[in-house]
Amino acid sequence: MNTSRYLREMSRRERRDALEDLVVAYIKEILLMDDHEELPLDHGYFDIGLTSLRLNDLRAHLEELLDLGIDATVLFSQPTVEQLVSYLADALSNPSTDEKACNVA
């Protein structure tokens, strides 16, 4: 089962928690942080050390992992990890019309 389908089948709370784990793990990897280091979820991306290039890497990684198109402006309108995770949880619980059409066929 792919990650996107697995996450979509979870309750919203479980989905949000799983997404948080995925996003935090990848950001820690990008920032070369140890697993035990705390990543503040309510700080802006640039405040935690991400650059525009790394944000683009994050977006591309999440798009591939979640099989979900993420507009680049989302990272600026959702400027913290906490806000991004909430956005992704909502996006995965509300499939687009195109996805619904594909699932019916």
CATH superfamily of the domain spanning 3-104: ACP-like (1.10.1200.10)
Res. 21 pLDDT band, cuts 50 70 90: very high
Taking all residues of the chain, what is their mean pLDDT, rounded to a whole number?
A: 88
Q: Which residues contact 2 (CB under 8 A, 6 or more apart)?
A: 67
| Mean pLDDT computed over 96-105 | 39
Q: Is the pLDDT of residue 103 over 60?
A: no
Q: What is the pLDDT of residue 83?
A: 96
Residue 89 and residue 84: Cα distance in Å, rounded? 9
Q: What pTM value is reported for the model?
A: 0.84
Q: Does the structure show a pLDDT above 70 at 85?
A: yes
Query: Of residues 46 and 12, which shows the higher confidence score?
Result: 46
